[in-house]
């Protein structure tokens, strides 16, 4: 208990991190060839490690959806000669935190440990990844936990809307599937499926690692082999097709007897490697990412009081890019909210943004970038993300200059390219009213900023 409290204090202290411009990244290569990016921070006796494999839920076999997610819940439930109870007890005694997760495109993990426990922490991580036990009692317990999460989320309108949006927008593609699977698919997963997934997808050729903390390159190098050196070198290629939003009805309504409707709306977007990425980032900051300074909050909340919040964000997946947004309002005003949002999108596409909006957005995006480095965990995660998109080891130093270089013409060109009300696809959960009746004056004079 005392050790756990000590670790919590250290984790809190770790939130006081160096600004982004002061991050010094070193590439470390283990004797066995495992690569990692390292940011040394000797002032705090803590090590944070983030890593991911290019092996997310999109690789789940048909009928076994939720496989990657179930594996992520089982890797710390016993490994090697330690059953679940013994493994968890060892982590607790040493105040080691180990976590796993599965998204659409990546299988990710994290490790946090005090410096004095680093050898044991890396050893246990190596066991979890290369020698998971997948004991039947643990499988059934975690399977029930996943099914329980599914049941809870089926009662959350926003989750229902998000999943339905993906299912309709990417029908026939792995992105259409729920990363947690269905009750039927999770029930169909066997121990052999779990073993096959771990042995096939958690391989060194798909691995990206970021480390932050009280450790030198010379100390880290052999520990990388302890954690990852026993994994298979390569894995079979998994063919996942490039995709885009399907030709769908503009609006899908899921009837739920709730006092307010929740909507997810979206458009085709861009991938992270698109040359227009930073122009789109600035554009979206003005459109819906910028909180109370965004156009959507101005028109939907401040001027009309239709909602507490409305936002948009860019989602660059590995095989598609989308722009997603969300709004919630009382059923009687959903039609009006939808029309106002479409009005704002149309205006930005046809009229562009102002010089002041551009400067305000760039000021925020450059000034707030350091907030991505406010803890050891956050820095480690940034190291992984930069490697995932192959942005270069100097990206942190270069990033704000790339934002500053965006011009008004860049933003307006990308707005015209991406923002089309004809392509907007809505999923609304609730009992929305006025979807057909509400019509707004969308002339330039009526919607001038």
What band does 20 get if pLDDT is binned at 50, 70 and 90? Answer: low
The tokens of 205 are what?
């050729």
Task: List Cα–Cα distances, 105 to 119, 149, 360, 407, in angstroms.
Answer: 30, 21, 33, 32
**Amino acid 247: pLDDT:** 83
82 DSSP 8-state letter: B
Distance of CA 209 to the CA centre of its chain: 17
In total, the chain counts a number of residues equal to 449
How much is the mean pLDDT over the chain? 92
Name which of 12, 38, 15 is nearest 373 in CA terms: 15
Q: What is the pLDDT of residues 92-120, one digit of tens each?
A: 999 999 999 999 999 999 999 999 999 99
- 202 three-class SS: coil
Q: What residue ranges define each of the domains in the chain, with the CATH number in brackets? A: 2-228 (3.30.830.10), 251-447 (3.30.830.10)
User: In a 10 Å sphere around its CB, with 0-12 CB exposed, 13-18 middle and 19+ buried, how is residue 13 labelled?
Assistant: middle
Tell me the CA end-to-end span of the chain in Å, nearest whole number.
Answer: 57
**Amino acid 289: pLDDT:** 96
- In this predicted structure, which of 81-90, 120-129, 247-256 has the lowest mean pLDDT? 247-256
Helices (H), 106-156: 118-130, 136-153
Name which of 96, 178, 79 is nearest 138 in CA terms: 79
CA distance 417 to 412: 9
Q: Which helix (H) or strand (E) holds 99?
A: strand 97-102
**Amino acid 237: pLDDT:** 79
Q: What is the pLDDT of residues 224-272, one digit of tens each?
A: 999 999 999 998 878 899 999 988 889 999 999 999 999 999 999 999 9
What band does 295 get if pLDDT is binned at 50, 70 and 90? Answer: very high
Spatial neighbors of 44 by CB under 8 A, at least 6 apart, are 10, 13, 14, 213, 214, 376
At residue 156, does pLDDT exceed 90?
yes
User: In a 10 Å sphere around its CB, with 0-12 CB exposed, 13-18 middle and 19+ buried, how is residue 340 labelled?
Assistant: buried
Q: Considering the entire predicted model, what is its pTM?
A: 0.91
């Amino acid at each position: 208990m005392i050790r756990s409290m000590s670790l919590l204090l250290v984790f809190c202290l770790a939130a006081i991190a160096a600004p982004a411009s002061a991050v010094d990244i070193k590439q470390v290569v283990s004797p066995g060839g495992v690569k990692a990016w390292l940011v040394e921070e000797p002032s705090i006796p803590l090590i944070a490690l983030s890593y991911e494999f290019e092996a997310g839920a999109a690789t789940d076999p048909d009928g076994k959806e939720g496989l990657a997610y179930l594996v992520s819940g089982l890797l710390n439930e016993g490994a090697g000669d330690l059953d679940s109870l013994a493994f968890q007890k060892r982590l607790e005694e040493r105040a080691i935190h180990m976590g796993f997760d599965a998204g659409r495109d990546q299988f990710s993990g994290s490790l946090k440990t005090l410096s004095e426990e680093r050898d044991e922490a890396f050893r246990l991580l190596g066991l979890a990844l290369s020698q998971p036990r997948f004991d039947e009692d643990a499988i059934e317990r975690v399977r029930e936990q996943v099914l329980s999460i599914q049941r809870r989320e089926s009662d959350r309108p926003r989750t229902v809307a998000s999943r339905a949006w993906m299912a309709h927008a990417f029908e026939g593609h792995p992105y259409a599937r729920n990363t947690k699977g269905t009750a039927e698919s999770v029930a169909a997963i066997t121990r052999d499926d779990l073993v096959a997934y771990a042995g096939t997808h958690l391989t060194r050729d798909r691995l990206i690692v970021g480390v932050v903390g009280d450790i030198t390159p010379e100390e880290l190098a052999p520990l990388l082999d302890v954690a990852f050196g026993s994994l298979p070198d390569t894995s079979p290629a998994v063919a996942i097709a490039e995709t885009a939003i399907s030709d769908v009805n503009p609006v899908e309504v899921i009837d739920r007897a709730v006092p307010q409707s929740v909507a997810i709306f979206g458009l085709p977007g861009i991938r992270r490697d698109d040359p227009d990425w930073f122009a789109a980032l600035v554009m979206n900051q003005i459109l819906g990412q910028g909180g109370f300074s965004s156009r959507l909050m101005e028109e939907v909340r401040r001027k009309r009081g239709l909602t507490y919040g409305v936002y948009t964000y860019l989602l660059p997946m590995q095989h598609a890019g989308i722009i997603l947004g969300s709004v919630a309002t009382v059923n009687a005003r959903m039609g009006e909210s939808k029309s106002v949002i479409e009005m704002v999108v149309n205006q930005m596409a046809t009229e562009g943004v102002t010089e002041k909006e551009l400067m305000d957005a760039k000021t925020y995006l450059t000034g707030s970038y350091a907030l991505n480095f406010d803890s050891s965990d956050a820095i480690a995660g940034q190291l992984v993300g930069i490697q995932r998109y192959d942005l270069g080891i100097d990206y942190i130093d270069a990033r704000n200059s790339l934002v500053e270089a965006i011009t008004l013409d860049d933003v307006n060109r990308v707005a015209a390219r991406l923002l089309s009300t004809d392509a907007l696809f809505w999923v609304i959960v609730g009992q929305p009213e006025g979807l057909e009746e509400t019509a707004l004056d969308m002339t330039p004079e009526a919607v001038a900023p």
